[in-house]
Amino acid sequence: AQSVTQPDIHITVSEGASLELRCNYSYGATPYLFWYVQSPGQGLQLLLKYFSGDTLVQGIKGFEAEFKRSQSSFNLRKPSVHWSDAAEYFCAVGAGSGGAQKLVFGQGTRLTINP
C-alpha cells in the first residue's frame, strides 16, 4: 500500500533563511505528488503538484519541489522564508484507481519562523 513519510515533525528556521521540508513516498507506479499548507484553524491549500514531466515544479508563494524517483522523494524548498510561512505542511500522494483524487497524507511538518 502507498504511504508517505515526513521525517521532521517540527522545524524552526529564521526569517530570511532557506527551507527544505522532506517527503518520502512509497508507491509502485508513477505517483501523483502534492504539497499542501495549513494555517492554524484553516483548511488546506495546495502549494504545488507533480503529475509528470519536469521534475522541478514551481508553486505558489515562492515554493518549489523536486521529484526524485531514485530516492522516492519530493522535497519542498523555499530560498528565503517569511514570517507568514509559519504553518503546517503536508505532503500527499495520489494513488490507486482514484489516481490523483484518493490522497494519502504524511503526518505533517510544523514550521516555526524565528524573527
Partner 1 sequence: NAGVTQTPKFQVLKTGQSMTLQCAQDMNHEYMSWYRQDPGMGLRLIHYSVGAGITDQGEVPNGYNVSRSTTEDFPLRLLSAAPSQTSVYFCASSALLLGEQYFGPGTRLTVT
- The binding site for partner 1 (CB under 8 A) comprises 4, 9, 32, 36, 42-46, 49, 51, 90, 92, 94, 98-108
Query: Are 65 and 19 within 8 A, CB to CB?
Result: no
Q: By the 8 A CB rule, do 103 and 2 touch? A: no
Distant-in-sequence, close-in-space partners of 104: CB < 8 Å, separation ≥ 6: 2, 3, 4, 92, 93, 94, 95
State the nearest-atom distance from the C-beta of 29 to partner 1, in Å.
15
Query: Which residue, 13 or 100, is less far from partner 1 as judged by CB?
Result: 100
Nearer to partner 1, 80 or 101 (CB): 101
Nearer to partner 1, 30 or 80 (CB): 30
Name the minimum Å distance from CB 114 to partner 1. Answer: 23
**22 in helix, strand or coil?**
coil
